[in-house]
Structure 1
Amino acid sequence: MTGPLSDIRVLETGTLLAGPFCGQLLGDHGAEVIKLEDPGGGDPMRQWGRERPYGKSLWWPVVARNKKSVTCDLRRPEGQELVRELVARSDVLVENFRPGTLERWGLGHDRLAAINPRLVLVRVTGYGQSGPYAPRAGFGSIGEAMGGIRHITGEPDRPPSRTGVSLGDALAGTMAAYGAVMALHARERTGSGQIVDSALYEAVLAYMESLLPEWEIGGYRRERTGPVLPNVAPSNVYPTADGAVVLIAANQDGVFRRLTEVMGREDLAADPRYATHGARGAHQTELDDIIGDWTSGQDSVPLLQALHTAGVPAGKTFTAADMLADPHFAAREAIVRVPHPDFGELPMQNVVPRLSATPGAVRWAGPELGAHNDEVWRGLLGLSDERVGKLAAEGVI
């Protein structure tokens, strides 16, 4: 294995997305991630993201990449005992059940820390491990709503919208992985593990910039503003003659002057209505109309080339097809192709961030259910054939 976490073993007991995304990030950077799945069908993500005519999830191979799949019924005492045996040999346990679930299964932090004081227990939930809302069921969409991102996403004359990905889950999973690495670092000084408490709504809230002081101190409530940020201009999407949509971000004074030169409208940079950041923000709509009228007469390729040459941040809005065909994506290997038994070769996003000396890697796509049972139960734990056979016959694994 390669990567900065190649000496770390992670047990992943969560399902769906937030906890497993944390496991994906740790696995991307070299951790040995052992995913414990229910013998009856595994993680529901195995059925999500279906795309005909394949009949199998195209999402699972991504979120479960670099993981080892073993089957284990955590609701059974025999399965809980297997987890305790694995904990003795592991560094991190990731879970995203409701608070109290692990405790009911005899897998609470006190019990696990007694087995392995160095264990880092990563807990991902909707509302955190404490507080009046802690017992509630929490999905990423609810965390997005409570954390504030839903209220300000979309067009002002329509109900709140969402991004086209599971943003709340990804943010909570990212914060969980970040917390796990920090706890592992602290363990080097203290010798002890600890609990990492990652709440969906708090992970979203962490990205909400100055939303809170703007309201309490400034009396300003952020609202839905479509593709723009109020008082930041020009920074918008603009139409082109060939039907493409181009984003131009020229809100800084120097950049705006370069934009006006490309437009052949240097007079705009000298106009008091547009000469400063504040003035452009106050006249945002009319400035966007001027730029939109200009871009409408340009084809997107020469338009973007002119903007790039002038040092004006601009770009088209990429689809998957654009990404797969783009030379910059190719040069940086931002997309990798991973062998898959059903799909032959599967394109997916590469590991981020990039480390120069100990880079992570996508080593394999999400495995079949129980693909690593022998390796873990017989190899790692050293269970006898008799015990493995009995556990299998009883449906525990």
Structure 2
Amino acid sequence: MYGSSFRSLSAAFGKSALFPSSRYGSNRFIVRRGLETAASAPIAGKGKLPLAGIRVLDMSRVLAGPYCTQILGDLGAEIIKIEHPTRGDDTRAWGPPFAKYLDGREGPGESAYYLSVNRNKKSVGLSFAHPEGVEILHELAKECDILVENYLPGSLKKYNMDYETIRKINPRLIYASITGYGQTGPYSNRPGFDVMVEAEFGLMHLTGSRDGPPVKVGVAVTDLTTGLYACNSIMAALLHRATTGEGQHLDVCLSDCQTATLANMASSVLISGKKDSGRWGTAHPSVVPYQGFKTADGDIFIGGANDRLFGILCEKLGKPEWKKDPKFASNNERVKNRVELERLIETETKKRTTKEWLDLFEGCGMPYAAVNDVQGTLNHEHTIARGMVKEIVHPVCGPIKILNTPVKYSNADPSIRSPPPLLGQHTDEVLRERLGLSDERIKELKKGGVLA
């Protein structure tokens, strides 16, 4: 498909009309050599961006892929986000809530979901159902170090955007495929959202109150951990490329990442041969007391995870005799008698407010925590002190608050440098500056529905 369409395009416009010949000369070689250097040489100094000079072609949408590329963008990579020219990333419509437009344009605004994982990116509205769109993507792939996509296995082959095709165009490219169930296996062609994978691969069965039904986790944690695994594997592939010059294909899927993050729970089953420990709510199957307890006005989590810490708890609760009671003197006995002990502890914790218990436990050496809602978390004094919420100015929504990048570096400064883009906000800029397309040619492609 691509070969014939490319020939027809060349015949109609000439190669120099769509992609100037200077892009194929020595200047283009210098650009690529610059990226090679950026990928292999450390950049030191406060205020520097570790991935400066790295360019990412982001063909992902929703959460796992965009979360991965946002991390890369925070670290300094240039992220070129490819979106459908009319509807864009699916999450643009996932609301309410929306940050409302302030410039009079139609629509509810920019969805909070979309805004959460798309900062530090450039949006290009492009349809690769058109041959011209595929040609543009191929040229962008030549200019990029990393490509991230999350389509069903085989879906991109008909557009000649599959790994085998792209590696011939750019052998140094790191091509990350993020899917529900991977490139192989009996479920590989199934579409898979986070909640389905939580259900199928054990997490939902472990989550929920005792004797209650399975429940999903409150955030799409499998998508997020998969995005983190994808980002980590991309970093490793960049290091590998720096020493070997080789690109590679990364097969990252929710089902594998979910299974891997069962961690100690999976290990317990593999060693014991039993099904699993079941659902425990906030409690721990083998450590007591280690859970949330009701207070006079809310909840508090208490971590009396060993005999010494349990002794501290007894003193603070005004029940020093408990630590000498044979039923509670050791963790093994506390696990056997957990129902009685939990009832006794909660009888005491209900006598004071959460704030009163927090003040009483302060500095005692035992882990404890208030059980906060999300608003309480975002306004928490520690959240504020650590700079985890930032206010930025959106081009059409005005000031908005978003989460900050979490890791602090001593010799680098990952940062929020640009707000999540409007659909197609950077189409002209990217195609003009990266591929050398003329304004007239960009207008023609927009008129033909290829670009937005």
* TM-score with structure 1 setting the length: 0.95
Does the 8 Å CA contact 1:62/1:365 hold for their aligned counterparts? no
2:443 to 354, 376, 389: 389
1:202 paired residue number: 256
1:149 paired residue number: 203
Report the CA distance between 1:299 and its aligned residue: 1.8
Q: What is the alpha-carbon distance in structure 1 between the residues aligned to residue 349 and residue 57 of structure 2?
A: 53
Report the CA distance between 1:52 and its aligned residue: 6.5
1:87 to 138, 141, 159: 141
Residue 111 of structure 1 pairs with residue 165 of structure 2: yes
Instruction: Give the greater-gyration-radius structure (CA).
Output: 2
Q: What is the alpha-carbon distance in structure 2 between the residues aligned to residue 155 and residue 331 of structure 1?
A: 33
- Which residue identity does 1:44 align to in structure 2? D
Residue 226 of structure 1 pairs with residue 243 of structure 2: no
Deviation string for 1:204-238 (max 9, x for gaps)?
Answer: 11111233443344132221222212122111111
Q: How does 1:237-248 map to 2 (within 5 A)?
A: 237-241=292-296, 243-248=297-302
- Which residue identity does 2:74 align to in structure 1? D
Q: What is the alpha-carbon distance in structure 2 between the residues aligned to residue 337 and residue 48 of structure 1?
A: 22
**Partner SS state of residue 280, structure 2:** coil
**Partner SS state of residue 33, structure 1:** strand
Sort the Cα spacing of 1:98 and 1:308 in 2 relative to 1 into closer, same or farther, 3 A.
same
Residue 70 of structure 1 pairs with residue 116 of structure 2: no
**Partner SS state of residue 165, structure 2:** helix
Deviation string for 1:263-318 (max 9, x for gaps)?
Answer: 12222222222222222222222211111111111121121122122111111122
Q: What is the alpha-carbon distance in structure 1 between the residues aligned to residue 332 and residue 250 of structure 2?
A: 42
Q: What is the alpha-carbon distance in structure 2 between the residues aligned to residue 188 and residue 66 of structure 1?
A: 25
Q: How does 1:1-80 map to 2 (within 5 A)?
A: 2-51=48-97, 54=100, 55-56=108-109, 57-80=111-134
**Partner SS state of residue 238, structure 1:** strand
Q: Which runs of 5+ in 2 are unaligned?
A: 1-46, 101-107
Deviation string for 1:308-350 (max 9, x for gaps)?
Answer: 2211111112223323432211111111111124443222221
**Partner SS state of residue 239, structure 2:** helix
Deviation string for 1:347-376 (max 9, x for gaps)?
Answer: 222102222211211222211111111210
- Count of aligned residue pairs for this structure pair: 396
Report the CA distance between 1:16 and its aligned residue: 1.4
Q: What is the alpha-carbon distance in structure 2 between the residues aligned to residue 85 and residue 284 of structure 1?
A: 64
2:150 to 72, 75, 96: 96
Does the 8 Å CA contact 1:232/1:284 hold for their aligned counterparts? no
Residue 262 of structure 1 pairs with residue 308 of structure 2: no
Report the CA distance between 1:33 and its aligned residue: 0.6
Residue 374 of structure 1 pairs with residue 420 of structure 2: no
- Which residue identity does 2:49 align to in structure 1? G
Sort the Cα spacing of 1:32 and 1:385 in 2 relative to 1 into closer, same or farther, 3 A.
same
- Which residue identity does 1:153 align to in structure 2? T
* Deviation larger for 2-11 or 372-381: 2-11
**Partner SS state of residue 402, structure 2:** strand
Q: Which runs of 5+ in 1 are unaligned?
A: none
Sort the Cα spacing of 1:116 and 1:200 in 2 relative to 1 into closer, same or farther, 3 A.
same
**Partner SS state of residue 210, structure 1:** helix
Q: How does 1:276-355 map to 2 (within 5 A)?
A: 276-355=330-409
Deviation string for 1:375-395 (max 9, x for gaps)?
Answer: 100111111233212211111
**How large is the RMSD of aligned CA atoms in angstroms?**
1.7
Q: What is the alpha-carbon distance in structure 2 between the residues aligned to residue 373 and residue 343 of structure 1?
A: 20
**Partner SS state of residue 195, structure 1:** strand
Report the CA distance between 1:125 and its aligned residue: 0.3
Q: What is the alpha-carbon distance in structure 1 between the residues aligned to residue 311 and residue 321 of structure 2?
A: 10
Deviation string for 1:66-88 (max 9, x for gaps)?
Answer: 11101111222211111110111
Q: What is the alpha-carbon distance in structure 1 between the residues aligned to residue 268 and residue 386 of structure 2?
A: 39
- Which residue identity does 1:4 align to in structure 2? P
2:14 paired residue number: none
**Partner SS state of residue 203, structure 2:** coil
Does the 8 Å CA contact 2:99/2:112 hold for their aligned counterparts? no
Does the 8 Å CA contact 1:149/1:208 hold for their aligned counterparts? yes
More helix by share: 2
Q: How does 1:170-185 map to 2 (within 5 A)?
A: 170-185=224-239
Q: What is the alpha-carbon distance in structure 1 between the residues aligned to residue 260 and residue 231 of structure 2?
A: 15
Does the 8 Å CA contact 1:211/1:221 hold for their aligned counterparts? no
Sort the Cα spacing of 1:200 and 1:324 in 2 relative to 1 into closer, same or farther, 3 A.
closer
* Deviation larger for 132-141 or 217-226: 217-226
Q: What is the alpha-carbon distance in structure 2 between the residues aligned to residue 51 and residue 129 of structure 1?
A: 35
Residue 137 of structure 1 pairs with residue 191 of structure 2: yes
1:356 to 410, 431, 436: 410
* Deviation larger for 322-331 or 160-169: 322-331
- Which residue identity does 1:13 align to in structure 2? M
Q: What is the alpha-carbon distance in structure 2 between the residues aligned to residue 213 and residue 62 of structure 1?
A: 34
**Partner SS state of residue 309, structure 1:** coil
Does the 8 Å CA contact 2:288/2:304 hold for their aligned counterparts? yes
Deviation string for 1:178-209 (max 9, x for gaps)?
Answer: 11111111111111111111110111111112
